[in-house]
Structure 1
Amino acid sequence: MKKNIFLLLTIFGIFIIAYGENNIKNIFLNYEDAYKYYVSNLNSVYEIKNENNIL
């Protein structure tokens, strides 16, 4: 088990070195934006369904 964790940490370390800090921050920011977009879409779909139920 410890070997697996060490391997994961090593791979993640290589990933950080390869892509650099700024790129990783940008990736996470993009994920955050995508998540907000997805949530706003879900909310609008939900509101449309509710309006149809009221009618």
Structure 2
Amino acid sequence: MLVTVAATEALARLHEFDAFIDARTQSEFALDRLPGAVNWPSLTDDEPSLVGTEYK
């Protein structure tokens, strides 16, 4: 079951979840994350700029 909540609400409800999955790049995850979140990046650090270049 997918549950989407705002970060402020998630922080208040941390005890209700088994895991928080952060799909941002490893660099973005390193900058900031919810306490206890795990990083399952959907793109490498280099891919967002490549995707933007190819899209343009």
Q: Same fold (TM over 0.5)?
A: no
Larger Rg: 1
Q: Which has the higher helix share?
A: 1
For CA contacts below 8 A with separation 6 or more, give which structure has more relative contact order: 2
Instruction: Give the TM-score normalised by the residue count of structure 1.
Output: 0.30
Q: Which has the higher strand share?
A: 2
Instruction: Give the TM-score normalised by the residue count of structure 2.
Output: 0.30
